[in-house]
Structure 1
Amino acid sequence: MPRAAGRPFMALPGPTNIPEPILRAMDRPTEDFNSPAFEALAAGCYRDLKRVFKTDGTILCWASSGHGAWESTIVNLFRPGDAIVIPETGAFSTWWAEMAGLFGAEVVTLPGDWRSAADPDAVEDALRKDTERRIRAVGVVHSETSTGVLSDVAAIRRAMDAAGHDALLMVDTISSLASMDYRMDEWRVDVTVGGSQKGLMLPTGLGIIGLNDRALAIAREGGSPRRYWSWQRMVDLGGDLPKFPGTAPTQIFSGMRVALDMLFEEGLDNVFARHRRMADLVRLAVEEWGLELNARHAGERSDTVTAVRWPEGHDPNAFRDSLRDRFNVAVSHGLLDLAGKIVRIGHLGDLNETMILGLLGAIEANLALDGVPHRPGGAQAAIKRVASNPA
């Protein structure tokens, strides 16, 4: 196959394209991670990550993906036999529940159709039934990357309050952090799970946790055997600055400094508004093509990933492959129950209208080339929207 000219276009829901300033910041020799200069760099990153999480709590990082940050929540907070409530919203809520079960937790799964948000009423009902107070936490995926569904975290907290239960609220923000509005302290979230490779515009490599004093106190008294994932050990070793467990990936922290500066220069509210505009363009094109959005309800659609249900008799994975081979564009596939049923289009990180319009043009051309049933005009509809409502 001949070389594909131009830069590969990343329309995955993570990892995202890495902006040039961040790439240049990481293009440097490894430095002493115990030096005062690096410790000052890391301290600034930890401090400014709090602005992204919107918390006054503690930020911790590991060399891992978001799955590692998930595992830290389980081993720090749960002993075998403790219960956790996890609303089923897609593959990632399913895998988080599976992980908790492997460590001996009793998982109370609230069944879902993978097309709708976590149901606050179902959470409230599950907590009211827990008269023995065995449920330690509720775990919710904010933006379910596998389905394009967005859950209302504030509504889940209100449901927990209505039940009068003292369970912790844990939220996975891996595909929403730094791309959509998230308010850890205002929504009284106890533990937030994040990662470096999506809205933060960095390479895969950092699992990130935000936690409040209540979660840290519970971890201090309980949990399962752990060392690398120990929240308390990181806090104890580091004093004012939580100690990175092992060798710190210094280049990623150098990139993070620039990524955070870019987010704050644009302004977080402007970042969120830009992601909404990009998502609206994608959803407009999909509906114009006559294809079906997986997320049923308009208010429950993520601004970072759109899942498109594929017409019967046509292979979404074959479309994904041909789109990559013809146009150097990468979109993602369905997972678990949605394998072979959807295409997932990512629209998060450092992107603008020009990039989205090019993406939609490539997708529409490939729909025609692959003979996928659709109505032409989705890309043109997006162009008209941009022309009539310039940013």
Structure 2
Amino acid sequence: MAQPIGRHFLQIPGPTNVPEQVLRAMSAPTIDHRGPEFARLTLDILDAIKPVFGTAGPVVSYPSSGTGAWEAALVNTLSSGDRVLAFETGHFATLWRELAERLGLTVDFVPGDWRHGADPATLAERLAADREHVIKAVCVVHNETSTGVTSRIADIRRAMDDAGHPALLLVDTISSLGSIDYRHDEWGVDVTIACSQKGLMLPPGLGFNALSGKALQAVETASLPRSYWDWRPILEANRRGFFPSTPATNLLYGLREALHMLADEGLADVFVRHLRHAEATRAAVRAWGLDVLCLDEREHSAALTAVVVPEGHDADKVREVILDRFNMSLGAGLGRLAGTVFRIGHLGHFNDVSLAGTLAGVQLGLELAGVPVRAGGIDAALRVLARRADA
């Protein structure tokens, strides 16, 4: 590729584009993480992040990836040999299963086709059959980053309540938090798992667990080994605005700014914006004559769209052409989807004109890669974007 001109279009579904004001906030001098200025920073963040999770309860933060936040959720609530129920909704659900098994947990993995979310009816059947309450936790990926499918967590919670089952509900919101409507308290989630580099508009490096009262009770009896991941010393130190180990100080500067940005726009408007961009993207894909991977209209992701290329064509070749010619990165197909789909990220710090440019690059790339597409995709997307957000 020749020296690229203009900005790089980072349209993978995370890490996402980091806003200039967040980058500037992170460039401030590092301060003493045991001093009063840092304590004020921490307490401000711990209060401001709660609405993003939809919780009044505590949110624990780690210098970690989302995978670290997965591990923290499991080791603080479960014991070796415990049985958990999980749904095969895509590549990341599969990785979570593997992590749980390496920790010594027994995972009942409900098979899936990677084109649908977790099925509440199947969950109801599994829980009804578990009369001895052997299942200790239900693990669900809210927004499966590999497929562009969003599971209906409120319906999952309803199925658990209708079954009268006491299992914990653990939910991965790594690619949905700050982009898709989410309600930790209202939906009765026990541990919500998240990270910094997607809807929160930061670089990678922060992992989060939002905790219910039931989860805090479980930590007292859980016996999986934990030290760094233990919630208790973090919660204790957080009361005074500190952490038990060295925090990612400059990422926390950026987090404070990102939370201010979300609050200034208004979370409801943030979610509407993401829904519009997702709808416009699907309109373009369908006008091109291509398929969206997600098959359930209730489960389309507002954060990304996975596009199926026709048989005989290579999605990675499309991505290669687009990167080489237009300096734009799209998400690869992961796991069993390698080479058959590409993923368009439309989350985080992103606006209508950026989406229009993204879709123009995709259309040109499809044509140059020899994928047969119909004209009109851009126009279809623009018609969606031209509608008032509140129409």
Q: If the length of structure 2 is used for normalisation, what is the TM-score?
A: 0.97
Map 1:224-235 onto structure 2 (within 5 A).
Answer: 224-235=224-235
1:228/1:245 contact within 8 Å kept: no
How far 1:238 moved relative to its partner? 3.8
Map 1:140-179 onto structure 2 (within 5 A).
Answer: 140-179=140-179
2:287/2:374 contact within 8 Å kept: yes
Question: Whole-Å Cα distance in 1 between the matches of residues 140 and 196 of structure 2?
Answer: 19
Map 1:113-128 onto structure 2 (within 5 A).
Answer: 113-128=113-128
Structure 1 equivalent of residue 373 of structure 2: 374
1:220/1:232 contact within 8 Å kept: no
Is 1:75 matched with 2:65?
Answer: no
Q: Deviations 1:131-185 (Å, cap 9, x if unpaired)?
A: 2222111011111101100111010011001111100111111111011110110
Structure 2 equivalent of residue 21 of structure 1: 21
CA RMSD, Structure 1 to Structure 2 (Å) = 1.3
Map 1:1-391 onto structure 2 (within 5 A).
Answer: 1-239=1-239, 241=241, 243-389=242-388
2:273/2:389 contact within 8 Å kept: no
Question: Whole-Å Cα distance in 1 between the matches of residues 371 and 34 of structure 2?
Answer: 56
Q: Deviations 1:352-376 (Å, cap 9, x if unpaired)?
A: 1100000011111111111111112
Question: Whole-Å Cα distance in 1 between the matches of residues 372 and 238 of structure 2?
Answer: 58
Q: If the length of structure 1 is used for normalisation, what is the TM-score?
A: 0.97
Question: Whole-Å Cα distance in 2 between the matches of residues 264 and 389 of structure 1?
Answer: 21
Deviates more, 1:123-132 or 1:64-73: 123-132
Pair 1:91–1:8, CA change in 2 (3 A)? same
How far 1:387 moved relative to its partner? 3.4
Amino acid at match of 1:313: G
Amino acid at match of 1:282: T
How far 1:388 moved relative to its partner? 4.9
Question: Whole-Å Cα distance in 2 between the matches of residues 366 and 340 of structure 1?
Answer: 15
Question: Whole-Å Cα distance in 2 between the matches of residues 28 and 236 of structure 1?
Answer: 27
Pair 1:30–1:388, CA change in 2 (3 A)? closer
How far 1:105 moved relative to its partner? 0.6
Question: Whole-Å Cα distance in 1 between the matches of residues 85 and 315 of structure 2?
Answer: 33
Pair 1:145–1:123, CA change in 2 (3 A)? same
Pair 1:327–1:186, CA change in 2 (3 A)? same
1:227/1:233 contact within 8 Å kept: no
Question: Whole-Å Cα distance in 1 between the matches of residues 383 and 274 of structure 2?
Answer: 18
Pair 1:389–1:239, CA change in 2 (3 A)? closer
Q: Percent identity?
A: 48
Q: Secondary structure at the match of 2:49?
A: helix
Amino acid at match of 1:74: L
How far 1:240 moved relative to its partner? 5.2
How far 1:5 moved relative to its partner? 1.3
1:61/1:244 contact within 8 Å kept: no
How far 1:214 moved relative to its partner? 1.2
Amino acid at match of 1:196: S
Question: Whole-Å Cα distance in 1 between the matches of residues 62 and 264 of structure 2?
Answer: 26
How far 1:10 moved relative to its partner? 1.1
Structure 1 segments unaligned to the other structure (5+ residues): none
Question: Whole-Å Cα distance in 1 between the matches of residues 111 and 105 of structure 2?
Answer: 18
How far 1:300 moved relative to its partner? 0.8
Pair 1:366–1:238, CA change in 2 (3 A)? closer
Question: Whole-Å Cα distance in 2 between the matches of residues 11 and 330 of structure 1?
Answer: 6
Question: Whole-Å Cα distance in 2 between the matches of residues 6 and 263 of structure 1?
Answer: 27
How far 1:384 moved relative to its partner? 3.1
Pair 1:77–1:388, CA change in 2 (3 A)? closer
Q: Secondary structure at the match of 1:331?
A: strand
Deviates more, 1:16-25 or 1:125-134: 125-134
Between Structure 1 and Structure 2, how many residues are aligned? 390
Amino acid at match of 2:173: T
Pair 1:233–1:390, CA change in 2 (3 A)? closer
Q: Secondary structure at the match of 1:201?
A: coil
Amino acid at match of 2:263: F
How far 1:245 moved relative to its partner? 4.4
2:279/2:384 contact within 8 Å kept: no
Q: Secondary structure at the match of 1:221?
A: coil
